[in-house]
């Protein structure tokens, strides 16, 4: 009722003239059922995950938390590279900005991590937007865009290693407190809160992804990804919507970095800006399914526990695999092989492929 009347401009005297051709926004035919179903599924998943820390022992919880960090990274990367079509090979830069902003502000100025998260997200979004603007301004695409983002992440790594106020290669140790503190985001070891915080961040990312994908900006950027020229000729401001996507992706990725510092009590240049971090953002998303809401989560659930599971096998190998005892590198080797196989045989990832199969 009120929705239809707002469609007319304030000066329009006859509301009937504007109402007749338009369909009411509350018309049941226009209800986006699949989106509300996605929201419901997400809410269910988050609720189920939230119970996990009450059931898991401390060691398994640590694996679960690492999995959540993978998932947050992958969700952030997926926003820019999956939906935005800008293949980033340098998400370590944004993870690192989050981690280092948190560490620096906390250690040097005693700032609460919650505030540092916001500061870090802002800096990260600004840095990401600038980098992406330069790359897009000079028309880098595909492989060149990936290489440029990789180079920028390396520059960040090298810069941190050479800057005194960021303690060069030493990194930051987070000072330990004697008791739990919400304001300083420090809790007893093994506390379920350490699981719930990244879960809340992940939930924000997943719901945010759905909301973004269905928003005007999200629709535009996907149109640009699929056909830049066509989108531009329809009047979509290509650069603007791409940069919006990049800013969201980078801001979100930095949250994972801030939490990383808080949870592991230490951050150094390699842990924050190393190329391995960029790989950790890409691999779960690719394995799960690029450009899907659930893909990064599925991928993280595969990749996260994998190395722990393999480590367990190596500690106490069955007889047929006895020669593997004490060998290092197998976990990454398997994860690498999985990556190659997925790209070759399931280019849409585990979730993407399954979804397509059930639809048809």
On whether the CB atoms of residues 224 and 231 are closer than 8 A, the answer is: yes
Q: Can residue 64 be called a binding residue for another protein (CB under 8 A)?
A: no
- Sequence-distant (6+) residues with CB within 8 A of 254 are 94, 95, 97, 98, 101, 117, 120, 121, 123, 124, 125
Backbone angle region of 281, left / alpha / beta, with phi > 0 → left and psi within -120 to 50 → alpha: alpha
- Going by C-alpha positions, the residue among 227, 228, 277, 249 that lies closest to residue 92 is 277
User: Which residues between 39 and 58 bind another protein (CB under 8 A)?
Assistant: none
Q: Can residue 158 be called a binding residue for another protein (CB under 8 A)?
A: yes
User: Which residues between 231 and 270 bind another protein (CB under 8 A)?
Assistant: none
Q: In the complex with another protein, which residue's Cβ is closer, 202 or 306?
A: 306
Q: What are phi and psi of 186, to 5 degrees?
A: -130, 130
Least Å distance between CB 17 and another protein? 45
Residues in the chain: 360
User: Which residues between 263 and 302 bind another protein (CB under 8 A)?
Assistant: 279, 282, 286
Measured distance between the N- and C-terminal CA atoms of the chain, rounded to whole angstroms: 38
Q: In the complex with another protein, which residue's Cβ is closer, 146 or 272?
A: 146
**Tokens at residue 252, please?**
């979100």
> If DSSP codes are grouped into helix, strand and coil, which group holds residue 223?
helix
**Tokens at residue 183, please?**
């304001």
Q: In the complex with another protein, which residue's Cβ is closer, 44 or 337?
A: 337
Q: Which of 7, 310, 330, 354 binds another protein (CB under 8 A)?
A: 330
Binding mask 114-153 for another protein (x = CB under 8 A): --------------------x---x-x-xxx-xxx-xxx-
**Which chain residues interact with another protein by CB under 8 A?**
87, 89, 134, 138, 140, 142-144, 146-148, 150-152, 154-155, 158-159, 161-162, 279, 282, 286, 327-330, 332-333, 335-337, 339-340, 343-344, 347
């Amino acid at each position: 009722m009120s929705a239809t009347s707002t469609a007319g401009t304030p000066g329009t005297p006859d509301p009937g003239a504007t109402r007749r051709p338009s369909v009411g926004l509350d018309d049941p035919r226009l209800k986006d059922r699949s989106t509300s179903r996605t929201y419901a599924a997400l809410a269910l998943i988050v609720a189920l995950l939230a119970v996990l820390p009450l059931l898991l022992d401390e060691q398994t919880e640590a694996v679960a938390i690492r999995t959540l960090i993978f998932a947050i990274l992958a969700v952030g990367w997926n926003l820019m590279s999956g939906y935005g079509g800008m293949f980033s090979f340098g998400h370590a830069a944004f993870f690192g900005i989050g981690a280092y902003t948190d560490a620096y502000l906390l250690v040097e100025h005693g700032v609460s991590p919650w505030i540092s998260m916001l500061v870090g997200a802002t800096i990260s979004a600004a840095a990401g937007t600038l980098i992406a603007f330069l790359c897009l301004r000079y028309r880098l695409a595909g492989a060149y865009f990936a290489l440029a983002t990789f180079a920028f992440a390396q520059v960040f790594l090298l810069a941190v290693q050479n800057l005194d106020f960021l303690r060069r290669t030493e990194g930051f140790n987070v000072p330990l407190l004697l008791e739990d503190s919400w304001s300083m985001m420090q809790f007893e070891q093994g506390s379920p809160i350490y699981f719930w915080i990244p879960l809340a961040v992940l939930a924000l990312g997943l719901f945010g992804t759905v909301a973004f994908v269905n928003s005007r900006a999200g629709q535009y950027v996907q149109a640009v990804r699929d056909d830049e020229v066509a989108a531009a000729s329809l009047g979509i401001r290509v650069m603007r919507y791409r940069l919006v996507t990049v800013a969201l992706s980078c801001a979100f990725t930095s949250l994972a970095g801030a939490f990383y510092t808080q949870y592991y009590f230490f951050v150094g240049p390699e842990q924050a800006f190393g190329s391995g971090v960029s790989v950790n953002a890409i691999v779960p998303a690719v394995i799960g399914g690029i450009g899907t809401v659930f893909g990064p989560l599925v991928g993280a659930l595969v990749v996260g526990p994998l190395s722990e599971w393999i480590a367990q096998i190596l500690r106490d190998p069955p007889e047929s695999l006895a020669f593997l005892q004490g060998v290092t590198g197998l976990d990454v080797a398997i994860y690498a092989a999985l990556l190659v196989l997925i790209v070759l045989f399931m280019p849409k990832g585990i979730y993407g492929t399954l979804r397509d199969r059930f639809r048809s």
